[in-house]
Every structure is written in C-alpha cells, then in structure tokens.
Structure 1
Amino acid sequence: MTDKKKQKTGRRGVSRLQRACALAGFLITLAAAAVLARAAFTVPAPATLTIRSEAVRPSSGGWVVDVVVANHGDLAAAAVDIEGRVGDERSGASLDYVPGRGEKKASLVFSQTDKPDPALRVLGWSEP
C-alpha cells in the first residue's frame, strides 16, 4: 500500500463519534482548568452566621424552640455557641460546626408556662 492510500484510509478511520468524544474531552478539561483557576485566585468569604426560629412546640417540661443557624460565608464555622433568652431565663446549645453556605438545626428548651418568643443570638464560633 502506498503512503497516499494509508493517509486516505487513516482519515476515513476517524469517525464522527471519535471527533465528538475528543471535543467533549477537550471542553471538560478546559472547564476543569477554569474552575481550578477561579478557586486559586479568589478569596473565600469568612463565616457569617445568622439564627432564626423555625418552630415552637410544647414539651413535658415547658417549650422547645427549634432554631436554624445559617452560614452565609464560604468558610465553615466550628464550635458554634447559640443562646435564646426569654425574660430572665436563658437556654443555650453548641453546634460542632456549620458548613459554608449551609445550615444546621438545634433545639432550645424553656420551662415557661406560656409560649415563649425568645431573643436569639449567636454567641461565637471558631475557625476549624
């Protein structure tokens, strides 16, 4: 077989499916490089925690207030301490961590006879 015949046969040997797969692989590699470059050159936002009451339900010893702690930053927060206060009564909880751009739930218990509407706050946290 001559070189010209080999070249023609070689060209016909690359199918449309192979070309499509090669293009898809190139695009995936390009996208992965872009994601890595973006992560390398951006500074993650620190943890920013907020707390809100989700539900108040009765229990045998008083009332349970279910709360949600949301982290609006990119970095996780560890050892998160929260507090709820109704009058002179305080109730607190500690969460192991709250992930970046995530939420964690906790429950605070109050011995009030009336349904409480506690003032909620995040006392503090540390970086993991």
Structure 2
Amino acid sequence: MASQSRTPILEWIAAGLGLLAILFVVVVIGREALTAESAQLPSLEVHAGRIVPNAAGFVVEFDVTNRSSATAAAVAIEGKLGDETSTTTLDYVAGDASAKGGLFFKADPRGKPLEIRALGFQTP
C-alpha cells in the first residue's frame, strides 16, 4: 500500500510568500512603466549666496535647485559681473535636490548687478 504524502503547511506558506513577492515586483515595475516621465527634463534654478573675500579676489557661493525628478549631469554655471565672467561645472544635481558651488571674481560683487545662471546640462 502506497503512502500518500501531503504537502506540509510550511511549504504552502513559503509558496504563498513567494507568490506575493513576485506579484509585488510585477506591480511595482508595471506602475513605473506606466507612470514614468521619460521625457521629463531637469528644471534648474540658480541663486547667489554669500560673498567671501579670498586671495584671488572674491567667491560668490551659489545654490542650484533641481525642481524636477530628472537628474542633471555636467551642469554648467555662469556668472557675470559687468565685463567679468566666471564659469564652473557641477558634476550632477540630483532630481528634487540641490547642490552648492562657487564662482571666482576679481572685482567685489557686493552692490553690483550680478547674474548667475545655468548654461546647460547632460542627461546621465
């Protein structure tokens, strides 16, 4: 007489947990595929901060805020103070985040019109 083996309850529980994990992953990937904003571009805002004298002249600190969820890489920043121009490049500004940097000027920017803007970026 052949003995009939029943599947242990622990095996059923493990199979159920595995099924739930697979369904969760499928739902998350499906939701990302349907709601991903693949055409979204970074939205960068640049604001001047404090001005610090140093041996080379003056440093104007700035903050770059990315109002988009898309990451920007190689962010080029330009500052103009009269006829003097200073540029720098930030490695990246993550989505919905900010980064800081500084621009060097020979002239004292305090009390003078200073324009700081983002020139461009790369998409990683």
Stretch deviating more after TM superposition (57-66 or 82-91): 57-66
Shift of 1:93: 0.3
Q: Distance in 1 between matches of 2:111 and 2:54?
A: 12
1:1-128 matched pairs, under 5 angstroms? 35-41=28-34, 42-44=36-38, 45-113=40-108, 115=110, 117=112, 118-128=114-124
Name the amino acid aligned to 2:37: V
In the alignment, structure 1 segments of 5+ residues that lack a partner are 1-26
Asked if the contact 1:47–1:73 (Cα under 8 Å) also holds between the matched residues in 2, the reply is yes
Change (3 A) 1:36 1:116: farther
Using the size of structure 2 for normalisation, the TM-score is: 0.70
Which residue in 2 is equivalent to 1:9? none
**Maintained 8 Å contact 1:72/1:102:** yes
Number of matched pairs? 121
For residues 122 and 90 of structure 1, the distance between their equivalents in structure 2, rounded to whole angstroms, comes to 13
Amino-acid identity (%): 34
**Structure 2 contact 49–61 (Cα < 8 Å) conserved:** yes
Aligned-residue RMSD, C-alpha: 3.1
| CA deviations over 1:27-49 (Å, ceiling 9, x no partner) | 99887665444322132532111
Residue ranges of structure 2 left out of the alignment (5+ in a row) = 1-19
Task: Report what 1:21 is aligned to.
Answer: none
Greater share of helix: 1
CA deviation vs aligned residue, 1:80-106 (integer Å, no higher than 9, x gap): 110000100011101111111111111
Would the aligned equivalents of 2:75 and 2:122 in 1 still touch at CA under 8 Å? yes
TM-score, length of structure 1 as denominator length: 0.68
